[in-house]
Homo-oligomer: A and B are copies of this chain.
Amino acid sequence: MKENLSTVDPMAKQYDIDDLYKGIISGDRARLSRAITLVESKKKEHQILASALLKRCMPHTGKSRRVGISGSPGVGKSTFIEHLGKMIVENDQQLAILAIDPSSQVTKGSILGDKTRMQELSRHANVFIRPSPAGETLGGIARRTRESMLLCEAAGFDYTIIETVGVGQSEITVRHLVDFFILLLLPGAGDDLQGIKKGIVEIADLILINKADGDQIDVAHKTVGFYSSAVHLLRAREDQWTVPVKKCSGLTGDGLDKVIATLDHYFMDFSTAIGKRRQHQSQYWFESGLSDALKDHFFSIDGVAQKYKRLLNEVAQGRTNAFDAVDELMQSLLDKNS
């Protein structure tokens, strides 16, 4: 992506912050895209520029509906997003789609990277699609995606959809980024309680049994009943939101009007809850970012990493009490500073 940009525009690497800022807030897609490339860069000088740019953009952020969509491979996420996305843009709203894909470390982005996916949607003037940043840890991807989302908001997008594959930790990460989390499941509950196993149902705001078309409609109906009782058993939310369980088809579009209606209902009637959630999320990223940064800094001290490995081993084997091991490790910091 970066290589591409620099070929197209020889100025791309200079990153004129003022120009990027003005471009973003006037909704210029090329500059938004370049700004995201800047945010994703690991070069120290780029990070300083990215931070300055974000600072300027902050007053213009927060206005999009942040929606997370997750589901196992094969659940039909892209067809679903293609269909739902079209309904959103036909409603004259601008839609940004970002991906969080931890496997992108290896595959350089298996979701949203494929140009054949969401073909129609990707050509639409009101849609901006960005694949998962590559070569990052999940924490790194989350940070970049959060910052990209803020830039998209500054560029005036009404909706930000963050897509992730349902493989475990990434859904939890997305949950910390969005206002509303949609879980896609397949018809058929039976032995394999998809999602429930991983506690994913507990973080969903809407559960959709997708591919409820053709001869799957009856099975899908049963699956809806099954998850409805599971949700009924589990949830007692502070914000009084009752998690709907519905069937739909990303292929035929059946039930998608209800999805839009549910989103409208939530975003219009639960703004206090959304505001609270966003505050918690910001504080969460601040706290967890601080913990990570302190650890990174600590482990950059000579000898700490080796000492840590030895102690972790001793602790696991029960030879050293965990808290004494902490005290011993912390001695490295005191020694360094004295």
Contact = CB atoms under 8 A, between A and B. Distances in A.
User: Which secondary structure dominates where chain A touches chain B?
Assistant: helix
A311 interface: yes
A285 B322 CA distance: 6
Contacts of A295: 290-291, 294
Nearest to A313: B283
Most chain B CB neighbours (cut-off 10 Å) among A293, A321, A325: A321
B326 A286 contact: yes
Copies per assembly: 2
Contacts of A322: 146, 282-286, 289
A55 interface: yes
A143 interface: yes
Contacts of A285: 315, 322-323
B324 A311 contact: no
B297 A312 contact: no
Interface in A308-333: 311-312, 315-316, 318-327, 329-330, 333
Interface in A181-227: 193, 196-197, 199, 202
Contacts of A55: 320-321, 324
A327 B146 CA distance: 16
Contact of A319 (B51, B58, B294): B58
A324 B51 contact: yes
Nearest to A281: B322
Nearest to A298: B294
Contacts of A297: 330, 333
Contact of A147 (B59, B62, B323, B329): B323
A306 interface: no
A125 interface: no
Interface of A: 51, 54-55, 58-59, 61-62, 143, 146-147, 150, 193, 196-197, 199, 202, 230, 233-234, 236, 278-279, 282-286, 289-291, 293-295, 297-298, 311-312, 315-316, 318-327, 329-330, 333, 337
9 contacts: A55-B324, A58-B318, A146-B323, A147-B321, A233-B233, A283-B315, A286-B322, A291-B294, A293-B329
